[in-house]
Amino acid sequence: MFVREAFWLILARQPSDTELRDQLRNYTPGDERTVVLRFLSSPEFRLVRDGWATGRGIDKAPAVHEEGLGTLGSDERFVRLAYTWLFDRDADEGGLTHYVGELSAGLSRVNLTRRFVLSDEFTRRYQEISPEGGLIPRDVQLCELANPAKWDNPEWMDLLRSLVLPDHKIAMHRKAYEFTQLAFGLSRLGYLRDDVSVVSVGAGHECVLYWLANHVGRVVATDMYEGVWQSEMAQEGDAKVLKRPEDYAPFPYRADRLSFFRMDGRKLDFPDATFDVAYSLSSIEHFGGLDGARDAVDEMARVVRPGGVIAVATEYILSNAPYHEAFLPVQIHTLFDRPGLRLVEPIDERVCDRYHYAAVDLQKNRHQTPHMVVRDGDTVFTSVMAFLTKEMGQ
Ligand SMILES: C[S@@+](CC[C@H](N)C(=O)[O-])C[C@H]1O[C@@H](n2cnc3c(N)ncnc32)[C@H](O)[C@@H]1O
């Protein structure tokens, strides 16, 4: 009887014959608290609670559920059992009188159970007995190659959606990865605050500038805004953004927080230690080979205060053949191995080995998605993302 009753009160259903057999196999009277704890720790109860907490409801017919709870005896016995099993204590006289009164005045047993399960007292207990319950392991690396696993991290996906980027996995794209990973990294490193200033190098009119304007104190976009970038590809270097930034905003933003400047990323026109964060996404590979990219990293490091963060996404060659405007792994390491800079964690360079994919052939159709690994002739490449800190005293 106890097992049946605990099924109804905690899991909102009756047990199957097999479940009853299995629960009773090692059961001895006095084990009730252990059994209840097991039920409360189950994924099934997690889903019941989530269903009530979110207002989605639970997948049980209310009349059948109410009838099942009706088998637990008198109203007084029902309330006492709810206290014992859900709050792990005896009912106090005040509570008992109150809830028995509510039941006789028409409150259903389903609603009383729901109220108990959502109460502050039960929430505190549940947090203690099941702190990690319901948390699905998720990928949280910051320094890595463009990583499809991030599409399975709900926190990361919330950021992607807040950037108004397409969220279906078949739309997976390196650009969306870079923007979202930047927001994710700055969030995890504690840099989304109103007292934080950020500079972007080779910024174009990237959407994450506008997003950052809503999440930090000051954002400065720098770019040459000249040459082929004004007319070719996605026209990232369109100079019109200097005069009318609002025309490129993907969503409402705090215009007073964001300014645009024409500037060479290899020679930034700011004093040392001006910003808390400097970043550059898919740009430094266009600054004149490894030397140009290295100059840009050094400039980012110069204008960031000691203890600040530098975030860089650039092209990473997977196929081991040199290529213009992309870097071999060994070059990537020299790029980030600069005096006074330290990667916040080692770069995970094995990401692509873990996935089955066909590289998007840029010569045939560069618009194809998923678009995480690409091919140009014999060269296969992807994005690498790195977060570095500028050491104190530098
Ligand atoms: C591929 S786009 C990327 C733009 C933007 N970061 C994004 O992700 O959409 C490369 C950008 O680098 C800029 N650029 C090229 N050489 C530069 C330099 N020496 N200094 C600053 N920006 C430069 C181009 O104008 C262009 O906007």
Using CB atoms within 10 Å of the CB of residue 273, give its burial: 0 to 12 exposed, 13 to 18 middle, 19+ buried: middle
pTM of the model: 0.85
HEC string for 184-196: HHHHHCCCCCCCC
Q: Is 299 in the pocket of ligand 1 (CB under 6 A)?
A: no
pLDDT confidence of residue 61:
93
Cα gap 303→269, rounded to integer Å? 9
The DSSP bridge partners found for residue 309 are 277, 389
Using CB atoms within 10 Å of the CB of residue 348, give its burial: 0 to 12 exposed, 13 to 18 middle, 19+ buried: middle
Pick the closest to residue 199 from 341, 289, 302, 291 (CA basis).
Answer: 302
Residue 236 Cα to ligand 1 middle (Å): 7
Q: Is 285 in the pocket of ligand 1 (CB under 6 A)?
A: no
Residue 301 Cα to ligand 1 middle (Å): 18
Beta strands in the chain (DSSP E): 144-145, 197-201, 218-223, 258-262, 275-281, 304-317, 341-343, 360-361, 374-376, 379-390
Per-residue DSSP letters for 210-234? HHHHTTSSEEEEEE---GGGGTSTT
pLDDT confidence of residue 189:
98
Q: Which atom of ligand 1 is nearest to the CA of 225?
A: 25
Q: Which domains does the chain have, with CATH numbers?
A: 2-129 (1.10.3130), 144-390 (3.40.50.150)
Q: What is the residue-level pLDDT of the chain in tens, covering all 394 positions?
A: 999 999 999 999 999 999 999 988 878 888 899 999 999 999 999 999 999 999 999 989 999 999 999 999 999 999 999 999 999 999 999 999 999 999 999 999 999 999 999 999 999 999 999 988 888 899 999 999 999 999 999 999 999 999 999 999 999 999 999 999 999 999 999 999 999 999 999 999 999 999 999 999 999 999 999 877 777 767 888 899 999 999 999 999 999 999 999 999 999 999 999 999 999 999 999 999 999 999 999 999 999 999 999 999 999 999 978 888 999 999 999 999 999 999 999 999 999 999 998 899 999 998 999 999 999 999 999 999 999 999 987 7
Q: Which atom of ligand 1 is nearest to the CA of 200?
A: 6
Q: Is 7 in the pocket of ligand 1 (CB under 6 A)?
A: no
pLDDT confidence of residue 24:
87
Q: Which atom of ligand 1 is nearest to the CA of 202?
A: 22
Residue 322 Cα to ligand 1 middle (Å): 21
What letter does residue 87 receive in the DSSP assignment? I
Pick the closest to residue 328 from 371, 376, 375, 384 (CA basis).
Answer: 384
Cα gap 235→228, rounded to integer Å? 8
Q: Which atom of ligand 1 is nearest to the CA of 281?
A: 6
Other CB atoms within 10 Å distance of the CB of residue 44: 13
Residue 335 Cα to ligand 1 middle (Å): 18
Q: Is 177 in the pocket of ligand 1 (CB under 6 A)?
A: no
Residue 339 Cα to ligand 1 middle (Å): 25
